[in-house]
A and B are shown apart, each in its own frame.
Chain A
Amino acid sequence: MSAYSAAGEANAKPNYLNHEKGIWSWLTTVDHKRICLLYLFAILIFFFVGGMAALAMRLELAKLYGTGQHNFIDAETYNAMFTIHGAVMIFLFIVPGIPATLGNFLLPLMIGAKDVAFPKLNLFSWYIYMVGACMALFGLLKPIGPAFMEKAMNFIGVHGPVDTGWTFYAPYSIETGTSVVWMTAAAFVLGFSSILTGLNFIVTIHKLRAPGMTWDRLPVFVWGTYATAVIQTLATPVVGITLLLVIMERGFGVGVFNPKLGGDPVLYQHLFWFYSHPVVYIMVLPAFGIVGEIIPVFSRKPIFGYKAVVYASVTIAVVGFLVWAHHMFVAGISEAAAIYFSVVTFGVAVPTAVKVFNWVSTMYRGSIRFNTPMLYAMGFIFLFMVAGTTGVYLAVLAVDVYYHDTYFVVAHFHYTIQGGAVIGLMGGLYYWFPKMSGKMYNETAGKVTWFLVFVGFNLTFIPQFALGMEGMPRRYYDYLPQYQNLHQVSTAGAVINALGYTLALLNLGWAAVFGRVKAPANPWDSLSLEWQTPSPPPHENFEVTPVVTGSTYAYGTPVRGDAAAH
């Protein structure tokens, strides 16, 4: 029972992948679906780069030859490693991660549009992203080679990999001799790309919904992307100007953040977190959306409490702007501010709780299939519960004083970002893979690699909670011997985790290139619009502009009094 007047079955007509050929047609494409693939390609490379830096850190932290000495990499390299890891993972991987890939692909399809509002701007965003990525690479280079090369590199401001941590705290970032300028400038440029993507999506959702696609029929993923886009557009400029000020401080000694020049280093932290707290919701809100799409389809049930789920997303986005200084409880802020920010932080916990409860309730009395996407979604719920509740420890003032800047925080945010956003992204990739590639992947391999990721991930980061409780500070290249056992378990977990990701992505990559099994238009029996067009979709998405007449989630048999509505 399809609710849409337009539906297509797989046929031999050209699709977006093959209607034009050649590398040039890809680099100049304005098709949102192709731009999704461009982004996907780029972010996976950086996921790999960030992952390798993580493994280097974990290798060192295992301290196989004993603590108190350097085993594989020295202190400076280690400091560069966690900076590279954090900055690459955040600015190059997960912030564009879901919105620019799945968001780009699905947004127009889900609302029944032919493209985003500004297709050229969309491509332009990708190029800006690539420019930013290259600039970031300059920030990672070490000047080596013959003397003239070193001179040349020094001349353009390359002085060695950035060693400030991804947070670029002043005054250290103003004083250190490394290529902070390249990295902060890169973050600024990447931010610009992110702004343009967000702006594009907001306009698209406002202006290009298909006839009948009212606000209360929008899939929750679209709502998630919308809330994300608002944050992208409105929070990013603040970090942009903040990082520019750091550059000005380095170049001209403006002094705004430099106590030696009368400035206030804590002001830097305010401005930084004003962006970087909301940014965590840029990462996770689209993942919430993905879970909200997967669970109904594989449970054959409408999403429980659609309105509550949607309001919760919007509330999280808005309240997310009010809580930034919970990262600064011990940074020397006033007591009044600490109390205010602690209390308001709970304002995001409640709507998040609402979402979790609704997802689980959706499964009640469903007919549940355990395909790989569903496994990711269920894994997400467990991991995000751990993530969210450990966030509550950190929001509680008295307790955060102890946990701040320990491995407890490291574990918390890996659970949120990796257990939340990355697992969500993986689930989404598995779920929409048939649509994007027109092929089916190997289901068994999907499940096995899911298991590897899940086990490896928990093995990596559960010990880190314990480390944090024992008081192990973060950004430590060396530590007291009492922490060694837990660190070694964590390293072992990281290896399994890395293996899991690599195999899980290879499974998809293999199927996309060599796969023989063609995907039907709607393999999961979904009701949302993107599945009502062939797999892969044609260049302009739909052969006929769809007209929407019912809910995206009309699964199952109507219960009392509901029949009339559908």
Chain B
Amino acid sequence: MFRYFPEQASAHAADVDWMNNIITDLSLFFTVAIVGAMIYFAIRYRQRNGKDHETPRIEGSHTLEMIWTIVPTIVSIFLAYYGVVIYQQTREVPENALRITAWGQKWFWDFEYEYKDEAGQSQVKKIGGKDVEWVVPVDRPIKLVMQSRDVLHSFFIPAMRAKKDVIPGQWSYIVFTPIKTGKYPVFCTEYCGKEHSNMMASLRVVSEAEFDRWLKDRSAENALAGMSPSARGKQLYTEKGCNACHSLDGSRLIGPSFLKVFGKKESLQDGTTVDVDENYIQESILHPNKQIVEGYAPVMPSYDGQLGPDEIAGLIAFIQAQDGSAPVAAPVAAPVDDGWDKLSPLERGEKLVKAKTVPACTSCHSLDGSALVGPSFKGIFGRTAELQDGTSLVVDEAYLEESILNPMAKIAKNFAPAMPPVYGTQLKEQDVKDIVEYLKTVK
């Protein structure tokens, strides 16, 4: 009765379920006894014909009080004891446990596997991101050591009966031995903000051999590693989202442009100046808010722990290469995935605005009315816009198109001329139309 648990996929799941079922049985017993007695008394001793019958003035019974104090006490001791014993079993880390590191971050999980390759070299395999699938071998104890990069999260694998909060600045762990191969959902069970409900991963339990193959298969990463440093950096520049804030053409976004930045002298917020060299760039990637360039806000997230030395070197090489000698190859937006044309103009517009432009429009224009780097899109169409030069105009199709293609032409009052003029090359005529259609609907 009342057995709703997911399948028992870890060695200790059966123990936990056993404990749970004992409590269920005891609870049912007490509830049925008490509610049963209540209903029985209610029927047996109900008032009849609207008149009270004689009732005895019983004020209590010491014997009964003793019994119903002592019996629950004994039951309690029993439950508390086994609860502790089983808990300790579920927390015990066997010698041969496979150790994996996990990082929680709003709103995804990252995993790091450390292993020795054929040459006996220590290697780290990193996977991560939203809905990531992580893999463990069956029948081998797994110790997952976890920490958070921002707020509290909690790592919950129902099928393994394992859960622990993931805390910034403090390590915690779960340990379990999978006994069945298969795929199991992982939830975040500590509220962590907007996408808390989507902070999921899936755990794939495979045979030892398959795990080994999976672990040593580094083709995806090798592809990256095999590139020249600056090519790797170029890929990371978009992959890690640097492009949302740092332009390549000298225009000012949220952060300084990469164009000709290498070798430059930057003056910092605190009045000092600094040479932009390898060290400064590395420092800025790892500890971005220590040395803020004057005129910018300290808003960059740290990439510490997310980028390996090779990757940082790649980015440095890439930034160094932005010396103005090569024409800015504007990244191509709106890759024509299948069915793009089947979407309605509105849907295409929304996709473009939110994701398919580089940098995405929404990295500077909010949809909810808040002011970011640029004016919000909320209710933009038809609004009267005041311009820097003191004039004002009503926002119509023409103005929007112009602003997209030639952002510096008219600057809204109170905003900096910061929008990069890169969309003219990125967007096709139809794309611009779609965007305008979409913007009309943002209310």
Residues of A at the B interface (CB closer than 8 Å) are 75-76, 79, 144, 150, 163-165, 169, 171-172, 175-176, 259-260, 264-266, 299-302, 304-308, 330-332, 335, 338-339, 342-343, 346, 349-350, 353-354, 356-358, 360-361, 363-370, 378, 381-382, 385-386, 389-390, 392-393, 395-399, 401-402, 404-406, 465-466, 469-471, 473-480, 553-559, 562, 566
Complex CA gap A84/B43 in Å reads 43
Complex CA gap A353/B64 in Å reads 12
Instruction: Verify if B165 is at the interface (C-beta below 8 Å from A).
Output: yes
B19 touches A396 (CB 8 A): yes
Question: What residues on A are CB-neighbors of B72 within 8 Å?
Answer: 349-350, 353-354
B187 touches A471 (CB 8 A): yes
Complex CA gap A558/B192 in Å reads 62
Question: What residues on B are CB-neighbors of A368 within 8 Å?
Answer: 41-42, 45-47
Contact for B38 among A307, A343, A381, CB less than 8 A: A381
Return A14 CB to nearest CB of chain B, in Å.
34
Complex CA gap A409/B59 in Å reads 37
Complex CA gap A479/B31 in Å reads 32
Contact with A along B71-90 (1 / 0, CB 8 A): 01100110110111111101
Most central of A164, A378, A398, A471 by chain B CB within 10 Å: A398
Complex CA gap A343/B30 in Å reads 20
Q: A398-B86, A475-B191 are in contact. Are A556 and B55 (CB under 8 A)?
A: yes
Return B174 CB to nearest CB of chain A, in Å.
9
Residues of B at the A interface (CB closer than 8 Å) are 2-6, 15-16, 19-20, 23, 26-27, 30-31, 34-35, 37-38, 41-42, 45-47, 52-61, 64-65, 68-69, 72-73, 76-77, 79-80, 82-88, 90-91, 150-152, 154, 156, 158, 161-165, 167-170, 172, 185, 187-198, 369
Most central of B37, B85, B151 by chain A CB within 10 Å: B151
B58 touches A398 (CB 8 A): no
Contact for B167 among A332, A404, A480, A559, CB less than 8 A: A332
Complex CA gap A300/B48 in Å reads 13
Question: What residues on B are CB-neighbors of A300 within 8 Å?
Answer: 52, 55
Question: What residues on B are CB-neighbors of A339 within 8 Å?
Answer: 84, 87
B87 touches A330 (CB 8 A): no
Return B350 CB to nearest CB of chain A, in Å.
14
Return A393 CB to nearest CB of chain B, in Å.
5
A363 touches B170 (CB 8 A): no
Return B94 CB to nearest CB of chain A, in Å.
17
B151 touches A365 (CB 8 A): no
Contact for A404 among B57, B84, B163, CB less than 8 A: B163
Question: What residues on B are CB-neighbors of A367 within 8 Å?
Answer: 45-47, 52-55
Return B196 CB to nearest CB of chain A, in Å.
6
Question: What residues on A are CB-neighbors of B90 within 8 Å?
Answer: 398, 401
Most central of A144, A165, A342 by chain B CB within 10 Å: A342
Question: What residues on A are CB-neighbors of B34 within 8 Å?
Answer: 356-357, 360, 381, 385
Q: Which residue of B lies closest to A406 (CB)?
A: B189
Complex CA gap A548/B78 in Å reads 46
A and B contact pairs by CB, cutoff 8 A, 15 listed: A305-B61, A305-B64, A307-B60, A331-B167, A342-B87, A346-B79, A363-B45, A389-B23, A397-B86, A398-B84, A398-B85, A469-B2, A475-B191, A476-B197, A557-B57
Complex CA gap A389/B30 in Å reads 9
Q: A172-B191, A342-B80, A354-B69 are in contact. Are A392 and B57 (CB under 8 A)?
A: no
A390 touches B27 (CB 8 A): yes
Question: What residues on A are CB-neighbors of B54 within 8 Å?
Answer: 367, 556-557
Q: A368-B47, A392-B27 are in contact. Are A473 and B189 (CB under 8 A)?
A: yes
Complex CA gap A75/B199 in Å reads 13
Return B82 CB to nearest CB of chain A, in Å.
7
A466 touches B4 (CB 8 A): yes
Return B297 CB to nearest CB of chain A, in Å.
15
Complex CA gap A346/B34 in Å reads 19
Return A42 CB to nearest CB of chain B, in Å.
29
A555 touches B41 (CB 8 A): no
Complex CA gap A450/B68 in Å reads 31
Complex CA gap A438/B66 in Å reads 43
B58 touches A365 (CB 8 A): yes
Question: What residues on A are CB-neighbors of B64 within 8 Å?
Answer: 305, 357, 361
Complex CA gap A389/B46 in Å reads 28
Complex CA gap A361/B34 in Å reads 10
Question: What residues on A are CB-neighbors of B167 within 8 Å?
Answer: 259, 265-266, 331-332
Contact for B45 among A171, A366, A405, A558, CB less than 8 A: A366
Q: A402-B158, A405-B190 are in contact. Are A171 and B152 (CB under 8 A)?
A: yes
Contact for A365 among B35, B38, B55, CB less than 8 A: B55
B168 touches A259 (CB 8 A): yes
A398 touches B41 (CB 8 A): no
Question: What residues on A are CB-neighbors of B59 within 8 Å?
Answer: 302, 304-306, 553, 562
Question: What residues on A are CB-neighbors of B198 within 8 Å?
Answer: 478
Q: Which residue of B lies closest to A469 (CB)?
A: B4
Complex CA gap A354/B190 in Å reads 35
Contact for A350 among B56, B73, B83, B150, CB less than 8 A: B73
Question: What residues on B are CB-neighbors of A556 within 8 Å?
Answer: 54-58
Most central of B4, B77, B83, B197 by chain A CB within 10 Å: B83
A163 touches B193 (CB 8 A): yes
A471 touches B156 (CB 8 A): yes
Q: A366-B55, A473-B187, A555-B55 are in contact. Are A265 and B45 (CB under 8 A)?
A: no
A385 touches B31 (CB 8 A): yes
Q: A346-B80, A367-B47, A396-B80 are in contact. Are A304 and B58 (CB under 8 A)?
A: yes
A476 touches B196 (CB 8 A): yes
Complex CA gap A302/B47 in Å reads 16
Further contacts, 20 of them, CB under 8 A, given A75-B195, A385-B31, A405-B189: A171-B151, A302-B58, A308-B65, A332-B167, A350-B69, A353-B72, A357-B64, A360-B37, A367-B54, A368-B42, A381-B34, A392-B26, A395-B79, A396-B79, A398-B83, A398-B85, A466-B4, A476-B196, A480-B185, A566-B57
A558 touches B193 (CB 8 A): no
Question: What residues on A are CB-neighbors of B172 within 8 Å?
Answer: 332
A478 touches B197 (CB 8 A): yes
Q: Which residue of B lies closest to A302 (CB)?
A: B59
Q: Which residue of B lies closest to A335 (CB)?
A: B91
Question: What residues on A are CB-neighbors of B56 within 8 Å?
Answer: 301, 365, 556-557, 559
Q: Which residue of A lies closest to B70 (CB)?
A: A350
A75 touches B197 (CB 8 A): yes
Q: Which 10 A-B pairs have the closest CB atoms?
A: A471-B158, A259-B169, A469-B4, A396-B83, A389-B27, A398-B86, A556-B55, A346-B76, A305-B60, A397-B87
Question: What residues on A are CB-neighbors of B190 within 8 Å?
Answer: 169, 405
Contact for A401 among B2, B69, B87, B196, CB less than 8 A: B87
Question: What residues on B are CB-neighbors of A306 within 8 Å?
Answer: 59-60
Question: What residues on A are CB-neighbors of B165 within 8 Å?
Answer: 330-332
Q: Which residue of A lies closest to B76 (CB)?
A: A346
Question: What residues on B are CB-neighbors of A466 within 8 Å?
Answer: 2, 4
A172 touches B45 (CB 8 A): no
Complex CA gap A562/B57 in Å reads 8
Complex CA gap A455/B196 in Å reads 32
Return A142 CB to nearest CB of chain B, in Å.
10
B65 touches A305 (CB 8 A): yes
Q: A367-B53, A402-B20 are in contact. Are A338 and B87 (CB under 8 A)?
A: yes
Most central of B27, B57, B195 by chain A CB within 10 Å: B57
Question: What residues on B are CB-neighbors of A357 within 8 Å?
Answer: 34, 64, 68
Question: What residues on A are CB-neighbors of B150 within 8 Å?
Answer: 171, 175
B191 touches A342 (CB 8 A): no
B164 touches A332 (CB 8 A): yes
Complex CA gap A265/B73 in Å reads 35
Complex CA gap A476/B192 in Å reads 11
Question: What residues on A are CB-neighbors of B2 within 8 Å?
Answer: 465-466, 469
Complex CA gap A406/B64 in Å reads 37
Complex CA gap A479/B188 in Å reads 12
Q: Which residue of A lies closest to B39 (CB)?
A: A378
A399 touches B20 (CB 8 A): yes
